[in-house]
Amino acid sequence: MRVKGRLSLRRRRSDERGASAVEFALISLPLLLLLFGIIQYSIFFWGYQAGANGAREGARRYAVEPCADHAALITSRIGGASSGAVASSRSFSGAYPPQAGDSVTVTISFSPQEIAGGLVPMPGTITQTSTARVEDVEDC
């Protein structure tokens, strides 16, 4: 009778060998999806902040040099946060050429980097706007 008890214990151990692998497979998929989601949204918020910084610096540059083109500066400030082209536009509150005291509004938009390959849904295009007061119009 003692031998029979040991055999059933051994059988039970051998029957449970693959259980931990199956449990790990079931848990790892949602865990990896959660991990990729956290990373993807961290990259999205990094792009959101880079866009705000690019718009703010672009508006400041247009405030002191309103007649020059600063699209390259804005694109360089966004850097690797964009997955493609950066669209930027400027508008002045008054007539062109602007006068001192007018305000300039810079709007940029771009698509953020995507690492999960569409696995994690993204909010879409990042659009940021910044406004500054025009200070110097001597070079226009």
- Percent of the chain scored above 90 by pLDDT? 47
Asked whether residue 60 is domain-assigned, the answer is yes
Asked whether residue 107 is domain-assigned, the answer is yes
Asked whether residue 2 is domain-assigned, the answer is no
Read off the pLDDT of each residue in 68-82 and give the average, rounded to a whole number: 89
Asked whether residue 140 is domain-assigned, the answer is no
Read off the pTM. 0.75
Of 84, 129, 139, nearest to 104 (Cα)? 129
Structural domains counted in the chain: 1
Structure confidence by residue, pLDDT tens digits, 33-73: 899 889 988 989 999 999 999 999 999 999 999 888 999 99
Asked whether residue 139 is domain-assigned, the answer is no
Asked whether residue 81 is domain-assigned, the answer is yes
* Model pLDDT, residue 54: 95
> What range does the domain containing 56 cover?
15-133
